[in-house]
Amino acid sequence: MKNLNDILQFNILILLSILMIQCTGTGAKQNNKTALKSNEMPQITKEMFGTTFNGQAVEKYTLSNSLGMQVDIITYGGIITRWTAPNKDGVFQDVVLGYNSLDQYMESNPYFGALIGRYGNRIANGQFTLNNNTYQLAQNNGKNHLHGGDKGFDKVVWTAEPMPPKDDSVTLKLTYLSVDGEEGYPGNLQTTVLYTLTNENVLDVEYKATSDQETIVNLTQHTYFNLSGDFSNTILDHEITIDADAYLPVDETLIPTGVVADVSGTPFDFRNAKAIGKQINDTNEQLSRGLGYDHCWVLNNQNSGLREVATAYHKDSGRYLEIATTEPGIQLYTGNFLDGTLPSKQKGETYNYRTGFCLETQHFPDSPNQSNFPIVVLKPGEMYNSKTTFKFSTK
Ligand code: GLA
């Protein structure tokens, strides 16, 4: 009898071990950690990620919800380095491009996952005028200014503070003070970004900023998505919608010409779901200037506050991403500058042409110089407030 009991107990132990291995997940590709943690409370954990070239410590926070979704955020650039989402079979995979080490982010990062400021997108000739003062910013993209300059918000170390977890969400608060004159911009700009992961598989990104002098602000998030969960696939098969009747055509240097163009009958019409690749190689002057899509859409219902503006669907995995924002515009960038030189998170691989897409919610490019665009001026005593949410589901 004793022997029989021992055998039974041994078998039960083996069964339990197998179950545990299945729950923690193995067997997927290098970047594809499964993380089934159902019924757990949402939580935030912290670990060190590295040290910058000038000796600043960089932390990594992992936000987890009760469904098992995880978002890793580092204090360098407020970068989302990993974001797991389930496919239609419940398998969690990392769906955002990035690197495995801080050194790689510091050496050469085409804004993978980063917070962008003070001004997302381009300003012509790096110049703008406020109250009769002309400001010269870095010309870090040909003759234009791009994404905040030489050392934008994507390259600074933010101060992180995890908020006390709630039953249905966790929030990481990041703050950064950009001092008067930093990168040529006027005013001490105090910026707060709140990343909130909810139990509905929603990541909320909320931006707030105040300044002690009149200045310009246009903050965004530059995550590159590949919903297939395998970064060796292109994103050309992802079906996109953008709720916009118009977009902003650009000149040869990707500055809006000022024309607000109807999308009807053009490759820029995403009012009905369409694969990114369907018309990306059409003969079209705008597509040749952007080397693909690298344009800002003029979103509908601009006065409706937070509303759904774009979706992305990857049929094979079933992953479906819905984006809502308070912003008037969204830049679709289709990874046209990825050329196989940057190392992927997947061991031994590199990021090839069009293996990630960005949907960057924002005010329009070059707004300070275009009088018909919504204004981007922040005055002392005012609060800049912007919100974008990313919701994952499957269908
Ligand atoms: C933005 C720009 C693109 C490109 C990428 C980063 O989305 O619009 O032209 O610079 O960032 O490579």
Catalytic residue, chosen from 145, 147, 182, 222, is 222
**Residue among 146, 250, 293, 366 whose CB has most ligand 1 atoms within 8 A, to mutate:** 146
**Cα angle at 220 between 166 and 363, to 5 degrees?**
125
If asked whether residues 134 and 249 sit together in one domain, one would say yes
**Residue among 109, 296, 333, 351 whose CB has most ligand 1 atoms within 8 A, to mutate:** 333
Residue in 198, 223, 197, 237 with CA at minimum distance from that of residue 317: 237
If asked whether residues 253 and 338 sit together in one domain, one would say yes
Distance 34 CA to ligand 1 centre (A): 31
If asked whether residues 255 and 374 sit together in one domain, one would say yes
The tally of domains found in the chain comes to: 2
Q: Closest ligand 1 atom, CA of 254?
A: 9
- Residue 183 Cβ < 6 Å to ligand 1: no
Alpha carbons within 13 A on the beta-carbon side of 93: 24
How does 259-278 read in b/e, with b if 16+ C-beta sit within 10 Å? eebebeeebbbbeeebebbe
Sequence-ordered list of residues with C-beta below 8 angstroms from that of 134, at least 6 positions apart, any chain? 127, 128
If asked whether residues 167 and 105 sit together in one domain, one would say yes
pLDDT of residue 328: 98
d(CA 209, CA 192): 6
If asked whether residues 23 and 47 sit together in one domain, one would say no
pLDDT of residue 7: 47
Distance 144 CA to ligand 1 centre (A): 12
- Residue 230 Cβ < 6 Å to ligand 1: no
Q: What tens digit of pLDDT does each residue of 254-293 get?
A: 999 999 999 999 999 999 999 999 999 999 999 999 999 9
Q: What tens digit of pLDDT does each residue of 166-208 get?
A: 999 999 999 999 999 999 999 999 999 999 999 999 999 999 9
Instruction: Enumerate residue ranges in the chain where pLDDT < 50.
Output: 1-4, 7-8, 10-37
The count of other CB atoms within 10 Å of the CB of residue 92 is 23
**Residue among 79, 111, 116 whose CB has most ligand 1 atoms within 8 A, to mutate:** 111
If asked whether residues 143 and 8 sit together in one domain, one would say no
* Inter-residue contact 350 to 340 (CB < 8 Å): yes
If asked whether residues 29 and 53 sit together in one domain, one would say no
- Residue 333 Cβ < 6 Å to ligand 1: yes
- Residue 255 Cβ < 6 Å to ligand 1: no
Distance 333 CA to ligand 1 centre (A): 7
Residue in 298, 216, 310 with CA at minimum distance from that of residue 260: 298
Residue 60 domain flag:
yes
Distance 332 CA to ligand 1 centre (A): 9
If asked whether residues 26 and 56 sit together in one domain, one would say no
Sequence-ordered list of residues with C-beta below 8 angstroms from that of 10, at least 6 positions apart, any chain? none
pLDDT of residue 307: 98
Overall size of the chain counted in residues: 395
Residue in 358, 334, 78, 361 with CA at minimum distance from that of residue 218: 361
Residue in 332, 355, 317 with CA at minimum distance from that of residue 242: 332
- Residue 144 Cβ < 6 Å to ligand 1: no
E-assigned strand segments in 133-250: 133-136, 145-146, 159-162, 169-178, 189-198, 202-211, 215-216, 220-222, 239-242, 246-248
- Residue 337 Cβ < 6 Å to ligand 1: yes
Residue 38 domain flag:
no
If asked whether residues 11 and 61 sit together in one domain, one would say no
Nearest residue by C-alpha to atom 5 in ligand 1: 110
Q: 15 lies in which domain range?
A: 1-33
- Residue 154 Cβ < 6 Å to ligand 1: no
If asked whether residues 183 and 209 sit together in one domain, one would say yes
Distance 24 CA to ligand 1 centre (A): 37
E-assigned strand segments in 9-142: 43-51, 57-64, 70-74, 80-86, 92-94, 114-116, 122-123, 127-130, 133-136
pLDDT of residue 6: 52
With left for phi above 0 and alpha for psi between -120 and 50, is residue 44 left, alpha or beta? Answer: beta
Distance 204 CA to ligand 1 centre (A): 22
If asked whether residues 228 and 298 sit together in one domain, one would say yes
Q: Is 360 a catalytic residue?
A: yes
If asked whether residues 21 and 67 sit together in one domain, one would say no
